[in-house]
Amino acid sequence: MNKHILPKNALISVFYKDGLAPIVEQLNRLGVKIYSTGGTQIFIEELGVNVQRVEDLTSYPSILGGRVKTLHPKVFGGILSRRDLESDNNQLVKYDIPEFDIVIVDLYPFEETVKSNANEQSIIEKIDIGGISLIRAAAKNFKDVMVISSRSDYKEFYDIIKEKDGTEIEDRKRFAIKAFNISSHYDSTIFSYFDDGNTAFKFSMPNANILRYGENPHQKGIFYGDLEGFFEQLNGKALSYNNLLDLDAALHLISEFEDTTFAILKHNNACGIASRNNLKDAYKAALAGDPISAFGGILVCNVEIDEQTAQEINNLFCEIIIAPSYQKEALEILKSKKNRIILVQKESKLPNKQFRTILNGVLEQDKDLAIDLAEGMKTVTKEEPSTQHLTDLEFASKVCKNTKSNAIVLVKNKQLLASGVGQTSRVDALNQAIEKAKHFGFDLKGSVMASDAFFPFADCVKIAHQSGIKAVVQPGGSIKDNLSIDYCNENKIVMVMTGTRHFKH
218 is catalytic: no
CA distances from 360 to 202, 223, 357, 411 (A): 16, 20, 8, 41
Angle at which helix 130-140 crosses helix 169-194, to 10 degrees, equals 140
Contact 142, 1 (CB under 8 A): no
Question: What is the C-alpha separation between 53 and 346, in angstroms, rounded?
Answer: 44
Q: Which amino acid, one-letter code, is at 71?
A: L
Question: What is the C-alpha separation between 169 and 145, in angstroms, rounded?
Answer: 9
143 is catalytic: no
Count Cα atoms within 13 angstroms, Cβ side, for 247: 21
β partners of residue 353: 366
DSSP 8-state symbol, 48: T
Which one is catalytic: 33, 140, 284, 335?
140
Question: What is the C-alpha separation between 180 and 172, in angstroms, rounded?
Answer: 12
**What 3-state class would DSSP assign to 95?**
coil
CA distances from 158 to 7, 26, 163, 179 (A): 13, 8, 8, 17
Which one is catalytic: 33, 202, 252, 267?
267
**Strand 471-474 with 448-451, pairing:** parallel
**Strand 222-224 with 361-366, pairing:** unpaired
Query: Which residues are known to be catalytic?
Result: 140, 267
